[in-house]
């Protein structure tokens, strides 16, 4: 059954690389970009084509990569195959063929270390592949940095072949157009040519580009699609590449929030991970870091110099200010932690004020403990709340108070001192 326009029958993701230039034992595709593994972005790319199946080829750190993929909950739609020996991109596709099955529609090949490709570009690639022909992405980067060069007929401008940089002549290396390595094949054509690949070359590898050459040799159309945005072609091979890609992904994330009505005063100094939710009307001030797994409601204020870590929830109108860090903490509607405060493993009610210099001491060296603060409470400056502890509705702690673990400040009472005790007002005779 032919693939619909802009879609694919099967998507093959090549994710077996070790990434030795990353200088890390972590599999390359599991390195995080804005709080999410590289591979997660590529799986989204694959799913944007609405395929019947996604086949991921893994190798280095296969167990870890498989565990991540299984956690995505794609069920039987996802297949994982192991490339025991890394013998090139063509060999990786050969490993995937049993799971590709008798594909009669379009087969798209993606890479687990190319997180910047957009769904719109991939749909354009698929729309360019018709019938027995194939399509491939090319780009015109300022720095080719190891890409294969795309050679065209000087008279007709038709695609001729791809030459790998290490095999190219000096004249061929001067060619500006490069092969990105992302392809849309007709399923039958890929199943016909991929098993025939040979490793008879200087590297002893199976090149997927040889499949492209087979299409040309047999007179089948090969359509080069030039990426309008060369940033989409960025592949992650070093930590420098990862940092380069982060700038692109971060701006995309911030653009989505800006379009949704979030006021980000200085995007250049604002860092928001993937998967963060922020309500309209919220104001994000400069030098703020918001990690994945944070949920911020409408009309809140965060920053400047705030750090919101995973598990933080701000309800409507809450405020986290200067040099305040939160972790696994919920601030109720209208509550404030404005200055120099650490709020960890805490549940804070509505309209409560957390004074400057307050510390929620949540870790005893072995385990984390939660502290709760009720509605309309006032936690004085410099208070230390040693979890587990509780401050009731409308209660107050004096400046510098230490509420020790297991203690509970009853609703409406005021506790002061070290350790904190109920404050009894003396009556004047």
Cite the active site residues: 339
Q: What is the DSSP letter of 88?
A: -
Q: Rounded CA gap, 259 and 101, in Å? A: 42
Measure CA 192 to chain center: 35
Task: Name residues whose C-beta falls within 8 Å of residue 353's C-beta, 6 or more positions apart in sequence.
Answer: 335, 336, 377, 378, 379
Beta strands in 206-352 (DSSP E): 222-226, 263-264, 270-272, 277-278, 283-284, 288-290, 295-296, 301-302, 307-308, 313-314, 319-322, 325-331, 336-339, 342-348
* Residue 409 β-bridge partners: 391
Beta bridge partners of 363: 368
What letter would DSSP give residue 37? B
Asked if residue 59 lies in contact with residue 105, where contact means CB atoms within 8 angstroms, the answer is: no
Asked if 408 and 392 touch (Cβ cutoff 8 Å), the reply is yes
**Residue 269 and residue 285: Cα distance in Å, rounded?**
9
Structure tokens at 115: 């997180």
- Round to whole Å and give the CA distance between 21 and 105: 36
Tokens of 78: 């996802």
Quote the CA–CA distance of 12 and 80 in Å, as a whole number.
Answer: 10
Taking the alpha carbons at both ends of the chain, their separation in whole angstroms is 96
Pick the closest to residue 209 from 231, 178, 230 (CA basis): 178
Query: Token pair for residue 155?
Result: 């008279």
Structure tokens at 396: 């107050």
> What burial class does residue 190 get, using C-beta atoms within 10 Å of its C-beta: 0-12 exposed, 13-18 middle, 19+ buried?
buried
Q: DSSP string spanning 134-152? A: EEEEEE--S--TTPEEEEE
DSSP alpha helix (H) spans, 38-173? 38-47, 62-70, 89-100, 119-128, 170-173
Rounded to whole angstroms, how far apart are CA atoms 244 and 249? 9
């Amino acid at each position: 059954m032919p693939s619909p326009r802009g879609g694919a029958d099967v998507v093959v993701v090549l994710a077996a690389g070790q990434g030795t230039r990353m200088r890390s034992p972590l599999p390359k595709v599991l390195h995080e970009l804005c709080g999410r593994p590289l591979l997660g972005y590529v799986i989204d790319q694959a799913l944007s084509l609405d395929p019947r199946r996604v086949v991921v080829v893994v190798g280095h750190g296969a167990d870890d990569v498989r565990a991540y993929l299984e956690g995505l909950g794609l069920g039987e739609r996802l297949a994982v195959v192991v490339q025991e020996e890394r013998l090139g991109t063509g060999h990786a596709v050969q490993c995937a063929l049993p799971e590709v099955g008798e594909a009669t529609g379009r087969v798209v090949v993606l890479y687990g270390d190319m997180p910047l490709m957009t769904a719109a570009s991939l749909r354009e690639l698929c729309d360019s592949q018709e019938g027995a022909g194939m399509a491939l992405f090319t780009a015109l980067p300022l720095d080719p940095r190891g890409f294969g060069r795309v050679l065209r007929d000087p008279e007709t401008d038709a695609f001729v072949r791809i030459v790998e940089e290490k095999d190219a002549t000096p004249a061929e290396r001067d060619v500006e157009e490069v092969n990105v390595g992302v392809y849309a094949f007709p399923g039958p054509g890929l199943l016909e040519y991929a098993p025939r690949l040979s490793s008879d070359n200087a590297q002893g590898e199976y090149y997927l580009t040889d499949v492209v050459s087979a299409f040309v040799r047999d007179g089948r159309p090969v359509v080069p699609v030039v990426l309008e945005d060369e940033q989409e072609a960025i592949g992650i091979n070093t930590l420098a590449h990862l940092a380069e890609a982060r700038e692109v992904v971060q701006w995309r994330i911030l653009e989505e929030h800006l379009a949704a009505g979030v006021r980000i005063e200085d995007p250049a100094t604002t860092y928001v991970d993937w998967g963060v939710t922020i309500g309209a009307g919220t104001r994000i001030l400069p030098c703020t870091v918001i990690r994945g797994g944070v949920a911020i409601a409408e009309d809140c204020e965060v920053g400047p110099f705030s750090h919101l870590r995973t598990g933080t929830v701000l309800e409507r109108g809450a405020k986290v200010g200067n040099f305040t860090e939160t972790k696994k903490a919920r601030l109720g509607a209208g509550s404030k932690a404005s200055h120099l405060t650490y709020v960890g493993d805490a549940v804070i009610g509505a309209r409560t004020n957390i004074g400057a210099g307050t510390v929620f001491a949540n870790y005893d060296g072995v385990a984390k403990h939660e502290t709760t603060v009720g509605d309309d409470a006032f936690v004085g400056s410099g208070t230390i709340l040693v979890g587990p502890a509780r401050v009731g509705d409308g209660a107050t702690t004096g400046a510098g108070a230490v509420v020790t673990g297991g203690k509970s400040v009853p609703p409406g009472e005021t506790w002061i001192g070290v350790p904190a005790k109920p404050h009894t007002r003396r009556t004047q005779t």
